[in-house]
Amino acid sequence: MVRPKHTALLLMLVCLPALGFDVCVEAFLAMDTAYPEERLARIKRFVEGLGEEIPSGLALPKDLKMYVANRPDMRMSQAFSQASHGENVIHAVNAEGTDIVHEAGHVIFDHNLFEISQVPLVQEYREFRKQFAQSLKSNDQLELEVKALKTKPPSPERDNAIRRLESQIDDGDDFRLRLKEKYNRVVGVERAHPISCYSELFSDALAFAKFGKPRVMVDAASKRMKEQFDDKTIADIQRGRDFSADLKPEEWPDKHPYNDAHLYYGPTHSFIGQHLAGKSKAQRMQFMEVLFRAIENDMKNHLTITADGRFYTNARTTEQANRDLIDAIKLESTTSGH
């Protein structure tokens, strides 16, 4: 098989003095990133402060890492994010307010899901991600060894060693492919994984809760989509992340790009916007726990693992999934009084 290029990560750990918070944030910079230390410290304090704002039923992981780069380098940041799965990484490109909160949202969501939730699907998913990340990490290591060997003068021994390492790398690639097959489109092609869809909604909602601006994530949607779609489609999909939109589940097509993980719960964004209209910041933050519990219940009710141990890919239409989640939010909100 053709071996995909996988770039080893070049990172620099920036140590910042502890500030007495409960949460310890470590920041990793891309090598080419010249961040003024003062600015980095500000970002770090911002994230730690966020930990104090989230409701008591949700936890921010204590060992939090941030990957910060000046320029958006998706390949690097994705590689970092993948290689660090299970290690509570905020991957922040051009890290300022909105992006950071959205990325922190993913970490908070995963942490609470993996550490606290007992939904069986979640524990399976966690195991998948762990194995996937371990395999990626050991491949990174092997790639580095190959690179080092290639700087040495050619010899039969050197060439043999390179061949041996490359075959190990191929084995790792095959292992991850088989893992993906077993866990049925987890790192999804045709359809986004349901847990990713929940996670994107949760992260957008956290940015809205924090800043109170319903259109806080709209630009993020357009930036990503600009190269791929025409203006009409962009305008349409921007509404998917707009908490002041008025999308109904039946308006949301069950096709790309509408069922992309970021847009999948478009109508639920609209519902949350209406639900939180006029609420204070404290109430909006409290709602994040309501949303988390609603998502958990929705998972319990609608996502299972098949008898042969495969993930049950979300077979609901986007319309049905949005209806179900909106109902779950309404129920949890009534029960909790938030």
Residues in 198-257 that interact with Zn ion by CB under 5 A: 200, 203
Q: Which stretch binds Zn ion (CB under 5 A): 24-32, 33-41, 155-163, 193-201?
A: 193-201
The Cα–Cα gap between 251 and 236 comes to 11
Q: Buried b vs exposed e over 168-206: b needs ≥16 C-beta within 10 Å?
A: bbeebbebbeebbeebbbbebeebbbbbbbbbbbbbbbb
Query: Shortest distance, CB of residue 222 to Zn ion, whole angstroms?
Result: 15
Residues near Zn ion (CB under 5 A), total: 2
Side-chain-side CA neighbours of residue 45 (13 Å): 9
Tell the smallest beta-carbon distance from residue 48 to Zn ion (Å): 21
Residue with smaller CB distance to Zn ion, 114 or 139: 114
CB of 92 or CB of 245, closer to Zn ion: 92
Any idea which residue has 């095959």 for tokens?
174
User: Whole-number minimum distance, CB 211 to Zn ion, in Å?
Assistant: 16
Report, in Å, the least distance between residue 204 CB and Zn ion: 8
Q: Which of 291, 304, 275 is nearest to 113 (CA)?
A: 291
End-to-end CA distance of the chain: 53
Nearer to Zn ion, 117 or 203 (CB): 203
Q: How far is the CB of 104 from Zn ion (least distance, A)?
A: 10
Cβ proximity to Zn ion, 198 vs 338, nearer residue:
198
**Spatial CA neighbour of 200 closest among 102, 54, 111:** 102
* CB crowding 36-46: b at 16 or more within 10 Å, else e: eeeebbebbeb
Stretch that binds Zn ion, among 72-80, 93-101, 114-122, 195-203 (CB under 5 A): 195-203
When the beta carbons of 239 and 338 are compared against Zn ion, the nearer one is 239
Scanning 108-116, 130-138, 197-205, 328-336 for contacts with Zn ion by CB under 5 A, the matching segment is 197-205
* CB nearer Zn ion, residue 200 or residue 289: 200
CB 132 within 8 A of CB 85: yes
Q: Which of residues 72-101 bind Zn ion (CB under 5 A)?
A: none
Q: How many other CB atoms sit within 10 Å of the CB of residue 213?
A: 13
| Cβ 153 to Zn ion shortest distance, Å | 46
Q: Hey, which residues between 294 and 323 contact Zn ion (CB under 5 A)?
A: none
Burial class (CB in 10 A: 0-12, 13-18, 19+), 309: exposed
Q: Please, is 334 exposed, middle or buried when counting C-beta atoms within 10 Å of its C-beta (0-12, 13-18, 19+)? A: exposed
Closer Cβ to Zn ion, 112 or 203, answer by number: 203
Q: How far is the CB of 262 from Zn ion (least distance, A)?
A: 6
Query: Closer CB to Zn ion, residue 33 or residue 203?
Result: 203
Instruction: Give, in order, the Cα–Cα distances in Å from 94 to each of 16, 21, 63, 251, 318.
Output: 19, 24, 22, 33, 31
Among the listed residues 87, 202, 196, 188, the one whose alpha carbon sits nearest the alpha carbon of residue 136: 87
> Of 23-31, 47-55, 70-78, 196-204, which part binds Zn ion (CB under 5 A)?
196-204
Distance in Å, CB of 280 to Zn ion, minimum: 26
Binding site for Zn ion (CB under 5 A): 200, 203
